[in-house]
Structure 1
Amino acid sequence: MPPLKELTITPPFTPKKGFLGLPRELRDVIYTFTLVQPIKWSRRHKPTCPHCPRTCTVFERPLFTYNVQPCACLRRTGLALLLANRQIHAEAAPVFWAENPHCFSLAAEFTAGIITGPVLRPAYRLLLRHVSVMSVTWAFNQPYGGASVATKEQTALLWQALMECRGLERLEVHPFYGWWHVEQYGYLGRLGAALPLLRSFGWEKLNYFNVGKDFKGQWLDFPKLQTLYCLSRKEVDVGSFTSGGAVRESIREFETNFLVHVRYAIECDLLGHRYRPQSLNSPVYRSFSYKLGEGLDDRNPTQTLQLRDCTTTTVQLFGLPLSAETRKRNARERYIHDVLQRKQGKPTMREQKMSEAVKVRRSENKSKQKLREERERNNERTQKFLRQIDDRLWMAQQARMEEVDRKAALQQSLEAAAELKRLERKKVSRPR
């Protein structure tokens, strides 16, 4: 009998349904569209946010200038996609870490996720491509403080953490972190060897200008001045960091030459001066505030400047006022949002604002009522205490008067008894 052949039963191929059933190329496009967002410094308030300006005369304050964020507009969206399942996380996480520019307002924020804290996995450190570490103004206030920002240990941890991200291709660092400590010069000198894929390194700094002229051409005074922020960046060759003196000279060139030229170009090309004398008898004038150039709004935040040394540079402006087109578009989006809210039976933005105002007013009224009742109770206690004191004083006075009357009656009785005794003594007859 011939031997039986082995039979292999293969079930028919059934493609996956839903999102995982799509080709990988389409899933990557969806990952990119969902997870990749603009750089942190250029994010703005959403049209439905109450902090978004409603007029073209109020400057939109950048989100990164808030120490405590007043809204959720700065948060990344779409991160819940990474929590769907393990396969989607394994496919989407490299897209998120590699294609997004990761910006930090403080060095401590970056080192907490790389070295001092278990936030970022070591495998994902190699996926970082673009990192920007700033030193925002509020970092020098409480509870941070300038001392905690510029410590020797903190800046050393920053460069150690950067060198662990060996996949970096672009790096921007505030010169503050490369100036104060000699040990950092060694870190900067090893950047080229530690980061073989690094093709762009630059110093960057945020300057601000007080703009004091409104849309009617009237000059404003403090505190009505509005702030315009300017981010300047200069490309530097990491191969030139051969010694501490070379690093120091690079930072000095950036701060004392490049930034001075940039500020002068912004003052001359984009802003106007208002000068006034320092004193009544002084002919020396100083810059008091600036006025915004014609047509400078949120449509053109990137400006190319011609510097005095015959070079050009590109700066990024933040906090610009809204253009008429942006204001209309925001109003249209708010209207659509209100229509959808009404269809779903939910309150609109105006109704929410009014209800919040009513709640605040009710809370204030309740607190005022409580304060009034507490004040009345205190007055009643005070009046009752005063009445008790008056009653005690009256009773003490009555007791004193009764004591005086008793003593007076006793004295009268004693005097009457003495007088009676004297009279009785007179009546006694003398013997013959």
Structure 2
Amino acid sequence: MGCMELTIDPEWAWEPRKGFRGLPRELRDTIYNMVLIEPSKWERRHSPLCDLCPRDTGTFERPVFDDKSSCKCRLRRNMGLLLANRQLHRETAPTFWSQNAFHFDTASDFAENVGSNLRQEYVELLQRVSILRVTWQDYQTDWSTRRERPPSDSEGSAMWQALFRCTALKYVEMGTENIFRTWTPFGEEDFDVTSFIPKLRARLPQLKEFALAMILVYDVNPKTSRVDLVTGWWDAPPMSQRHLLYIKATKPTDLDEITTADEAKEAVRSFNTNFAVHVRFALETTLLGVDENNFSTDPNDLFSPNYALANDLNDNNTSQVLNLRDETAAIVRLLGLPISQQTRIRHVKERWREDARRKSAGKPTVWEEKYRSVMQERQEAKRAQRVEDAAKAHQARKDARETRREEAEAQEQRQQRKAQAKERSKLARSERHAQEIREAERKRVRSPK
């Protein structure tokens, strides 16, 4: 009988699940774009769940870039995707570095983070860079500590050298203090790196736009935006009472018309002395209720008219077209405006959905979590106070015992001194009595019988 061979064909074969990395690369790239690409620093808003998000239409929304401590809305999200593993990092890094806009407050920040800390392979991916900070005026004396120090010559040169390494840049936005600045009252050149401007076309061949920009701040609360007529100083109310409005104005520069450092310097001067003044005039007379006759060309002058924001301005119309006095137009962004009724309702619904999601997961709502957190903090404060009070009472009892011991020792020492004094007095009396007896005996012996 010959050998028989049995063959069993399996109905299915087990295969491991491919998971996220099993998706097509095009689909993964779409997901990366949705997750990693975020609005620019100036356009980010507070989450409806954030404590700084306004709950009514009369409260001004404090921009996320104005607070660097108590709010996390300014931070980028989903950064953990870049740190998951090396393959995901290789796939996500080009999307993150090339599609996002990166903002830096000062020239030194840009030179340090991009010029020194960032890998060259990522430096060459950057396409949008903004080096801009909020312009606090000199009359805002109570905000003076928030103003950044102007860049030095070395910091300015380092910034431009780092900028030239970003060979893929397409959009650059910059404050004029990083290019040219006259600091002395006589107009002497204190900081000048305008020689780098004519080199932009050659060093950055993909550059499409180089723009000069500024961000102004106005307190539009009529109760606080005023000058004390007695002292002549600008009022300094608490931050909670201010209605701060931030205005971002940008002016693109035609690099083809700038071939020398003098032309670059003239472009900066024109921005500061013409464009900025015209924008301020249009803003204050059109949107902030200032009469044309009361407008001052000096941004640091103290003037009496109160700022009052137009009633129809909210977060639905943050972009405004201003007709300037030189018959040109400028598009400005209004940041920090009050929220509209539609935004308020949308935020309320978002908070409701978050509460429903938490309840379905068996977790406390946001309000309950805050309440528990507050109660826990109060209980911890009470416990700490009780511990502190007990320690103080223990120390007081200890001090009282020490005081009583010292008083007892002092009393004992006084009694000992009294006894010693009494003994010395008794001994002295005895000696005097003995001396008297001896003297009397000598007299008796010497006297004749």
Question: Do the two structures share a fold, i.e. TM-score over 0.5?
Answer: yes
Q: Map Cα deviations across residues 297-327 of structure 1 (whole Å, 9 max, x no partner).
A: 1111111111111111111111111111111
Q: Deviations over 1:373-411 (max 9, x none)?
A: 343344334433433342233223222321222122123
Letter in 1 for 2:203: A
d(CA) in 2 for partners of 1:298, 1:308: 27
What residue number does 1:75 align with?
75
Alpha carbons of 1:207 and 1:418: their partners in 2 closer, same or farther (altered >3 Å)? Answer: same
Root-mean-square deviation (CA, aligned residues, Å) is 3.2
| 1:7 corresponding residue in structure 2 | none
Instruction: Report if aligned partners of 1:206, 1:232 keep a CA contact under 8 Å in 2.
Output: yes
Equivalent of 1:249, from 239, 250, 266? 266
CA distance, structure 2, for counterparts of residue 431 and residue 24 of structure 1: 147
Name the residue aligned to 2:6: none
Cα drift, residue 430 of structure 1: 8.3
**Counterparts of 1:387 and 1:410, CA distance in 2:** 34
Corresponding residue for residue 210 of structure 1 = 219
Q: How many residues are treated as equivalent by the alignment?
A: 401
Given that 1:274 and 1:289 are in contact with CA atoms closer than 8 Å, whether structure 2 keeps it comes out as no
Pair 1:199 & 2:208 matched = yes
Q: Distance in 2 between matches of 1:85 and 1:22?
A: 17
The change in CA–CA distance for 1:426 and 1:296 in structure 2 (over 3 A counts) is same
1:21 CA displacement:
4.3
Deviation of 1:62 after TM superposition, in Å, equals: 0.9
In structure 2, relative to structure 1, the CA distance for the partners of 1:173 and 1:410 (3 Å cut) is same
Listed one character per residue, the Cα deviations across residues 137-176 of structure 1 (whole Å, up to 9, x for unaligned) are 69x9889951xx5122211111111111122111111111
> Which of 313, 335, 345 is equivalent to 1:328?
345
Q: Which amino acid aligns with 2:237?
A: F
Q: Identify which of 414, 429, 434 aligns with 1:397.
A: 414
Where 2:307 maps in the other structure, the secondary structure is strand
TM-score by length of 2: 0.80
Residues 1:133 and 2:134 are matched in the alignment? no
Inter-partner Cα distance in structure 1 for 2:438 and 2:69: 102
**Contact in 1 for aligned 2:135/2:214 (Cα 8 Å):** no
Partner of 1:317: 334
Given the alignment of the two structures, is residue 104 of structure 1 paired with residue 108 of structure 2, yes or no? Answer: no
Choose the corresponding residue for 1:361, options 355, 378, 381.
378
Which stretch has the larger CA shift, 415-424 or 220-229? 415-424
Letter in 1 for 2:177: F
The answer for the alignment partner of 1:11 in structure 2 is none
Q: Contact conserved, 1:274 with 1:290, CA < 8 A, in 2? A: no
Q: Secondary structure at the match of 2:193?
A: helix
| Residue number in structure 1 paired with 2:197 | 188
Q: 1:266 aligns with which of 283, 301, 321?
A: 283
- The answer for the alignment partner of 1:344 in structure 2 is 361
Aligned equivalent of 1:28 = 29
Q: How does 1:78-89 map to 2 (within 5 A)?
A: 78-84=78-84, 86-89=86-89
Q: 1:225 aligns with which of 223, 237, 242?
A: 242
In structure 2, distance between residues paired with 1:78 and 1:400: 83
Deviation at 1:423? 5.9
CA distance in 1, matches of 2:132, 2:17: 45
Specify whether residues 248 and 415 from structure 1 end up closer, same or farther in structure 2 by C-alpha distance, changes over 3 A only.
Answer: same
User: Which deviates further from its counterpart, 125-134 or 185-194?
Assistant: 125-134
Q: AA paired with 1:26?
A: L
1:46 aligns with 2:66: no
1:423–1:109 Cα change, 3 Å: closer
Cα distance, 1:309–1:376 mapped onto 2, change above 3 Å:
same
Higher mean alpha-carbon deviation, 363-372 vs 162-171, is at: 363-372
Look up the match of 1:152: 153
CA 1:420–1:114 in 2, change beyond 3 Å: closer, same or farther?
closer
Q: List runs of 5+ in structure 2 lacking aligned partners.
A: 1-14, 137-142, 182-189, 224-234, 295-300
> What is the TM-score when the length of structure 1 is the normalising length?
0.82
Q: Give the superposition deviation at 1:36.
A: 1.5
Task: Please tell me whether the aligned partners of residues 152 and 191 of structure 2 are also in contact (alpha carbons under 8 angstroms).
Answer: no
Opposite residue 323 of structure 2, the aligned amino acid is: Q
Distance of 2:443 and 2:46 partners within structure 1: 118
User: For the residues of structure 2 that align with 1:242 and 1:182, how far apart are their CA atoms?
Assistant: 20
Q: Paired residue for 1:281? A: none
Query: What letter is aligned with 1:368?
Result: Q
Following TM superposition, by how much is the alpha carbon of 1:349 offset from its aligned partner in structure 2, in angstroms? 0.9
Moved more, 385-394 or 196-205: 385-394
CA contact (8 A) 2:245 2:334 kept: yes
User: For 2:352 and 2:320, how far apart are their aligned partners in 1?
Assistant: 32
On the 8 A contact 1:46/1:52 being kept in 2, the answer is yes
1:209-252 Cα shifts (integer Å, max 9, x gaps) = 011148xxxxx982222211011101111233333322221111
Shift of 1:52: 1.4
| 1:124 aligned residue | 122
Amino acid paired to 1:58: T
Residue 98 of structure 1 contacts residue 129 of structure 1 at CA under 8 Å; is this kept in 2? yes
Shift in CA distance, 212/274, structure 1 to aligned 2, threshold 3 Å: farther
3-state DSSP of counterpart to 1:330: helix
| Range moving further from structure 2, 359-368 or 244-253 | 359-368
- Contact 2:106–2:151, Cα closer than 8 Å, also in 1: no
